[in-house]
Structure 1
Amino acid sequence: MAGDAYEELRRLFEGEEARDYLGEPVTQAEHMLQAAALAVRDGAPDSLVAAALLHDVGHFHGVVTGAELMAGTDNRHSDTGADWLARWFGPAVCEPVRLHVAAKRYLCAVEPGYFARLSAASRFTLAVQGGPMTPDEAARFAGLQFAAAAVRLRRWDERAKDPSAVVPPFQSYREMLARLMSD
C-alpha cells in the first residue's frame, strides 16, 4: 500500500502538471520541494515536512485546475489536496495542507507587511480566494487545532519560489512518507 501510494505521489512530481507554477519563476514540483527543504531546515516535524512537500497537490486533482485559478476561478486546491491525501495520511499532514490558503488570508489580515511580501501571482490568487480575513474570521482561524502549523507552512510556501535553489529530490522523502503512511 505505502509503496503504491509513494509511486503515485512520485509520478505527480514528474508529470506534466508539476512543470508549470501559475506565474511563478519555478515549476510546481520545484516549489513544493523547496517548501519541504525549508521545513527540514527549520526543524519541522516529519508530518509538517510532508505537508510542505505535498501542499499544492490539489492543483493536480481538482475539477478546476491551477490554470483556471489564474483565470479567476478559485480551485479550492487546499481542500482538494487535503481530501486526496487523506487516503494515506492523517490530520497532522492533511490539515495544514487544507488550511494553507486560509493561512495566507489570515497573515494578510493580522501581520503588517505580509501582503507586500507576496509574489504578484500570490496577490492575485489571494483576491480570488477571498482576500484578507475579517477580524472575526481571523479569530476563528487562530483557534483551529492546525492553524499554527498552517501558518508555518504558509511562510515556507511564500519563500519557496527561488529559481536558483538547490534542494533534495522527491525520492529523498521516501522513508519519511512511508513512516507517515503507516502511522
Structure 2
Amino acid sequence: MSNAYQRPAFRHLSEATTQDMAEIFDHYHGLRNGIADHVLMMLKLLSGERLGFPVDRLEHSMQSAAFALRDGADEETVVCALLHDIGDNIAPDNHGAFAAEILRPWVSADNYWIVRNHNDFVGRHYFAKIGRDPDLRERHREHPAFEKACRFCDDWDAAAFDPNFDTPPLEFFEPMVRRVFSGEPWAHAEKGVAGH
C-alpha cells in the first residue's frame, strides 16, 4: 500500500466526503501546531527598520512585553504585549485588528479587545501631533477592559522606545509564546467575545 498523495475527487466543497473532510482537518490540526513558529517568524520581520522611531519595532515589542512582565501581568497578557504590533508590515492601517485576530482563539476576550483597539488608546500620546483626536479612547470608556487597556498602552506600549533599555532577547519570550499557542483554541469562548 502506497502513502502517495491521492488528490480528492470533489470539485465543489459540498461534494467532499466525510473521509475527505477528516483528512483536511488532520492537515489543519498540523497547521495549528506550527502557529507559534509562524508568529515568531512574523515578529522577527519587525527587526531592523526603525521607521523614524528610536528603536526598531521588534525592540519596541520586546520592551512592551518586558514592561508587562515587570508589572506582574500574566503570561497571556505579556504575549499580547509582545505581539500587539505584529501586523505592522502587512496591515499598517489596521495592525491592531490583524494582531488581535491571530490571537483571538488563544486569549481572553479582554486581551483580544485590548490588542484590537490599542491604537485608539496609545493615540493619547501622539494623535494631537498628527491632527487626530487624542481622546479617541474615550469612546471605549464603558468597556469592562477600559482600565486594563489604559495600563497596557500608557505603561507598556507608549513607554517602549528606549534604546538604552536592558531588553530581554526574543529567546526569553519564545517559551511564553509557545505556551499560549499550545493551549486549546477557543478555550475562552465560554466567556464570550468582547464587544467592539
In the other structure, the counterpart of 2:34 is 4
Within 5 Å, give how 1:21-170 maps onto structure 2: 21-62=50-91, 65=92, 75-86=93-104, 88-105=106-123, 108=124, 115=125, 118=126, 124=129, 127=131, 130-133=132-135, 138=138, 140-155=139-154, 156-170=156-170
Whole-Å separation in 2 of the counterparts to 1:45 and 1:102: 23
Whichever of the two has the greater Rg, that structure is: 2
Higher relative contact order (CA closer than 8 Å, sequence separation 6+): 1
Q: Secondary structure at the match of 1:51?
A: helix
Shift of 1:18: 3.1
The letter for the 2-side match of 1:104 is V
Shift of 1:22: 2.6
**CA RMSD after TM alignment:** 2.5
- Count of residues in correspondence between the two structures: 152
* Counterparts in 2 of 1:123 and 1:12: CA distance versus 1, 3 Å: farther
Shift of 1:92: 4.0
- Unaligned stretches of 5+ residues in structure 2: 1-30, 188-196
Q: Stretches of 4+ moved more than 3 A in 1?
A: 87-90
Whole-Å separation in 1 of the counterparts to 2:38 and 2:58: 14
Are the equivalent residues in 2 in contact too, given 1:58–1:82 (CA < 8 A)? no
- The CA deviation string for residues 45-73 of structure 1, in whole angstroms up to 9 with x for no partner, is 222211111111121231xx4xxxxxxxx
Are the equivalent residues in 1 in contact too, given 2:43–2:86 (CA < 8 A)? no
- Unaligned stretches of 5+ residues in structure 1: 66-74, 109-114
Identical aligned residues as a percent: 27
Q: Which has the higher helix share?
A: 1
- Residue of 27, 36, 43 corresponding to 1:13: 43
Whole-Å separation in 1 of the counterparts to 2:95 and 2:128: 16
